[in-house]
């Protein structure tokens, strides 16, 4: 087995390549299920390394296989976001209105270089690279890239799947790994409140949808503070409130409200849905009516303790236990959750904070400190090696 000293040094020797490929991808971002050039680039790199490549897996995804026997999957998502980049950097997005604002460009480069390390010193098993489309947005049916790849058999016969996410708020050189839930389930709701419009001078002749909506929003904000235990993490956010009126003297007939809720266990998820329905009864009590719709998105991302422990020990061996942090679960969401439901999985956070200028994910000036990218490459490659050895021993 590769020694930890050798593994980290081999990855460090690839650091300039990792950064260069990340910047190339960053300059050419593509939206969900439109990652044509990114997918072709990944396929070319894997084919050059001798991996058996399949294209159009999960629509625009790519898989690459190397070796025989116990199979471990390494996943990287490829899509960008519909955001106009403002960074004055040499590798700024060339695709107007689209940018890599969440680190997926780094995920692809880090994973492809892990594939390179595994090619140079193959383990006694199989590696399957999963270059996944559409983590950020689903297709016309609302289905994400992870699910589409599963449907196309990308996880068939895998013993485990691993991955990582860049964390722009975690110091470079640190990684975060924990057991159990690591990211939240995310769901969205759309609420239409119906009243009766009219002239602002005669409110008594109307049923003001804005007044009703304001009370509904106030009640929604009390779900977490008054209806859920302080020991149970949950977030409910109203992100949009729009009325049918655009004039000061016109009382609105309708209000459209959109929001999201994020949870870590199924019971809390179901309870929030029940509470939203109950709260919407306010509209009828005040003479109005409502329509409430849900879009149930990604489930919680849950790390399998057995797989996470192997990854954690690898990280400790490679960069020292002081740099491996038991981070708190994040209220982000990730469709890696579907992969980890299908086969045992582990997902880690790789620190890439720009010191003194922390950037926010999904923002127009998002960027990363690239200095620790090789750490992610080393941990992914060595974890795959050890998992194969681990499962071979159990067989």
Helices 104-120 and 15-27 pack at an angle, to 10 degrees, of: 140
263 token code pair: 């949870």
Residue 164: which of 80, 100, 79, 103 has the closest Cα?
A: 103
Q: Cα 220 vs. chain centroid, distance in angstroms?
A: 26
Query: How far is 323 from 326, CA to CA, in rounded Å?
Result: 10
Per run of 10 residues, the mean pLDDT along the chain (length 395 residues) is 77 98 98 98 98 98 98 98 98 98 98 98 98 96 96 98 98 97 96 98 98 98 96 96 97 98 94 97 98 91 98 98 94 96 98 97 98 98 98 91
Per-residue model confidence (pLDDT) at position 297: 84
Per-residue model confidence (pLDDT) at position 362: 97
Residue 345: which of 162, 180, 107, 155 has the closest Cα?
A: 162
Query: How far is 155 from 151, CA to CA, in rounded Å?
Result: 9
Contact 132, 58 (CB under 8 A): yes
Residue 95: which of 31, 161, 51, 29 has the closest Cα?
A: 29
> DSSP letters along 128-153, please?
EEEEE--SS---TTS--HHHHHHHTT
Per-residue model confidence (pLDDT) at position 245: 97
Per residue in 174-206, is it b (16+ CB within 10 Å) or e — as a string? Answer: bbbbbbebbbbbbbebebbbbbebbeeeeeeeb
C-alpha distances in Å from residue 64, one per residue of 20, 73, 161, 210, 250: 22, 10, 14, 54, 60
Query: How far is 93 from 38, CA to CA, in rounded Å?
Result: 14
Max Cα distance, the chain (Å):
81
Helices vs. strands in the chain: H and E counts, helices first:
11, 16
Provide the whole-model pTM. Answer: 0.92
Angle at 1 between CA 113 and CA 10, to 5 degrees: 35
Contact 123, 67 (CB under 8 A): yes
Per residue in 365-379, is it b (16+ CB within 10 Å) or e — as a string? Answer: ebbbbbebbbbbbbb
SS3 assignment for 82-122:
CCCCCCCCCCCCCCCCCECCCCHHHHHHHHHHHHHHHHHCC
Residue 344: which of 186, 187, 179, 152 has the closest Cα?
A: 179
351 token code pair: 């620190």
320 exposed, middle or buried (CB, 10 Å; 0-12, 13-18, 19+)? exposed
Per-residue model confidence (pLDDT) at position 2: 55
Domains of the chain: 4-182+300-394 (3.40.630.10), 185-296 (3.30.70.360)
> DSSP letters along 249-313, please?
TEE-SEEEEEEEEEESSHHHHHHHHHHHHHHHHHHHHTT-EEEEEEEE----EEE-HHHHHHHHH
Per-residue model confidence (pLDDT) at position 58: 98
Query: How far is 257 from 66, CA to CA, in rounded Å?
Result: 49
Contact 96, 84 (CB under 8 A): yes
């Amino acid at each position: 087995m590769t020694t930890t000293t050798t593994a980290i040094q081999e990855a460090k020797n690839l650091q300039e390549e990792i950064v260069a490929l990340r910047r190339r991808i960053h300059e050419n971002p593509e939206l969900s299920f439109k990652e044509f050039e990114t997918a072709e680039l990944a396929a070319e790199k894997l084919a050059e390394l001798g991996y058996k490549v399949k294209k159009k897996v999960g629509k625009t995804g790519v898989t690459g296989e190397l070796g025989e026997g116990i199979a471990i999957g390494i996943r990287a998502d490829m899509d960008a976001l519909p955001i106009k980049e403002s960074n004055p950097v040499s590798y700024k997005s060339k695709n107007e209105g689209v940018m890599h604002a969440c680190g997926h460009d780094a995920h692809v480069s880090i994973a492809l270089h892990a594939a390179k390390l595994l090619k140079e010193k193959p383990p006694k098993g199989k590696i399957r690279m999963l270059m996944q489309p559409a983590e950020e947005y689903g297709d016309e049916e609302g289905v994400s890239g992870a699910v589409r790849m599963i449907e196309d058999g990308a996880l068939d016969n895998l013993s485990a799947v691993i991955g990582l996410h860049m964390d722009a708020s975690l110091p470079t050189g640190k990684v975060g790994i924990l057991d159990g839930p690591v990211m939240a389930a995310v769901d969205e709701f759309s609420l239409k409140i119906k009243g009766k419009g009219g002239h602002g001078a005669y409110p008594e002749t109307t049923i003001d949808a804005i007044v009703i909506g304001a009370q509904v929003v106030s009640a929604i904000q009390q779900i977490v503070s008054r209806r859920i235990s302080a020991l149970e993490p949950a977030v409910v956010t109203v992100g949009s409130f729009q009325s049918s009126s655009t004039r000061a003297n016109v009382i609105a007939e309708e209000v459209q409200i959109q929001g999201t809720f994020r949870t870590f266990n199924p019971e809390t998820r179901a309870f929030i849905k029940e509470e939203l329905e109950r709260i919407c009864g306010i509209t009828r009590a005040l003479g109005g009516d409502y329509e409430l719709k849900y879009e149930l998105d990604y489930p919680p991302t849950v790390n399998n303790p057995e797989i996470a422990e192997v990854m954690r020990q690898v990280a400790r061996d490679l960069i020292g236990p002081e740099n491996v942090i038991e981070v708190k679960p994040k209220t982000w969401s990730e469709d890696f959750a579907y992969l980890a439901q299908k086969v045992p999985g582990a997902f880690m956070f790789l620190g890439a904070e720009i010191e003194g200028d922390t950037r926010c994910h999904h923002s127009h000036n998002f960027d990363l400190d690239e200095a620790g990218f090789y750490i992610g490459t080393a941990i992914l490659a060595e974890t795959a090696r050890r998992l194969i050895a681990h499962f071979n021993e159990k067989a």
